[in-house]
Amino acid sequence: MAAGDPDFDFDFVVVGSGAAGMTAALTAALRGLRTLVLEKTEFFGGSTARSGGGVWIPGNADLRRCGVTDTAEQASRYLGHVAGEDTPAALRAAFLEHGPAMLDLVVANTPVSFTWVPGYADYYPEAPGGRAGGRSVEPKLLDARVLGADLASLRPPYLPAPAGITVTQANYRWMSLGTSHPRALTTTARVTARMILSRLRHRQLLSMGQALAAGLRVGLTRVGVPVWLSTPMTGLEISGGRVTGVRALRDGQPVVVRAARGVLLATGGFERSAVLRSRYQRAPIGTDWTVGSPANTGDGIEAGVAAGGVLALMDDAWWGPSIPLPGGPVFCLAERSLPGSIFVNAAGERFMNEAAPYVDAVHVMYARHTDDNPHIPCWMIADQRYRNRYVFTGVPPRKPLPRRWYASGAVFRASSLAELADQIGVSAEGLAKTVKEFSEFASAGKDAEFGRGDSAYDRYYGDPNCKPNPNLAPLTQPPFYAFKIVPGDLGTKGGLRTDEHARVLRDDGSVIEGLYAAGNTSALVMGRSYAGPGATIGPAMTFGYLAALDAESGS
Ligand SMILES: Cc1cc2nc3c(=O)[nH]c(=O)nc-3n(C[C@H](O)[C@H](O)[C@H](O)COP(=O)(O)OP(=O)(O)OC[C@H]3O[C@@H](n4cnc5c(N)ncnc54)[C@H](O)[C@@H]3O)c2cc1C
When pLDDT is cut at 50, 70 and 90, the band that residue 2 belongs to is very low
Q: Of ligand 1's atoms, which has the minimum distance to the CA of residue 292? A: 53
CA 292 – ligand 1 centroid, Å: 7
| Mean confidence (pLDDT) of the chain | 96
When pLDDT is cut at 50, 70 and 90, the band that residue 163 belongs to is confident
Which pLDDT belongs to residue 159?
83
- Region 237-263: mean pLDDT is 97
Q: Which ranges constitute the DSSP H helices of 114-239? A: 169-175, 182-200, 208-222
Cα-based distances in Å from 247 to 257, 321, 408: 6, 38, 43
Cα-based distances in Å from 436 to 130, 354, 439, 547: 34, 17, 5, 55
Q: What angle do CA 197, 202, 207 make, to 5 degrees?
A: 70
pLDDT of 118 > 60? The answer is yes
- Region 22-42: mean pLDDT is 98
- Region 341-357: mean pLDDT is 98
Better-predicted residue by pLDDT, 163 or 31 = 31
Residue 53 CB less than 6 A away from ligand 1: yes
When pLDDT is cut at 50, 70 and 90, the band that residue 100 belongs to is very high
pLDDT of 3 > 60? The answer is no
Residue 296 CB less than 6 A away from ligand 1: yes
Cα-based distances in Å from 169 to 114, 273, 369, 524: 12, 29, 33, 24
Which pLDDT belongs to residue 1?
52
Residue 535 CB less than 6 A away from ligand 1: yes
CA 47 – ligand 1 centroid, Å: 3
CA 537 – ligand 1 centroid, Å: 8
User: What is residue 376's DSSP assignment?
Assistant: S
pLDDT of 17 > 60? The answer is yes
Closest-CA residue, ligand 1 atom 17, reads: 48
- Region 218-230: mean pLDDT is 98
Question: For residues 248-272, b (16+ Cβ closer than 10 Å) or e, as one string?
Answer: bebeeeebebbbbbbbbbbbbbbbb
Which pLDDT belongs to residue 130?
98
Treating both helix axes as pointing N-terminal to C-terminal, what angle do 208-222 and 89-109 enclose, rounded to 10 degrees?
70
Q: Of ligand 1's atoms, which has the minimum distance to the CA of residue 521? A: 26
How does pLDDT run across 508-548, given as a tens digit for each residue?
999 999 999 999 999 989 999 999 999 999 999 999 999 99
Q: How far, in Å, CA of 122 to CA of 129, rounded?
A: 10
User: What is residue 390's DSSP assignment?
Assistant: S
Which pLDDT belongs to residue 160?
76
Q: Which of 176-185, 258-267, 529-538 has the lowest mean pLDDT?
A: 176-185
When pLDDT is cut at 50, 70 and 90, the band that residue 555 belongs to is low
Residue 519 CB less than 6 A away from ligand 1: yes
Q: How far, in Å, CA of 208 to CA of 54, rounded?
A: 7
pLDDT above 90 coverage of the chain, percent: 94
| Helix/strand/coil (H/E/C) assignment for every residue in 13-42 | EEECCCHHHHHHHHHHHHCCCCEEEECCCC
> Contact at 8 Å (CB) between 111 and 218?
yes
Residue 21 CB less than 6 A away from ligand 1: yes
Which pLDDT belongs to residue 512?
98
Closest by CA to 62, choosing from 538, 501, 548, is 538
pLDDT of 228 > 60? The answer is yes
pLDDT of 90 > 50? The answer is yes
Residue 54 CB less than 6 A away from ligand 1: yes
pLDDT above 70 coverage of the chain, percent: 99
- Where residue 400 falls (left for φ over 0; alpha for ψ -120 to 50; beta otherwise) is beta
- Region 280-298: mean pLDDT is 97
How does pLDDT run across 468-484, given as a tens digit for each residue?
999 999 999 999 999 99
Closest-CA residue, ligand 1 atom 49, reads: 46
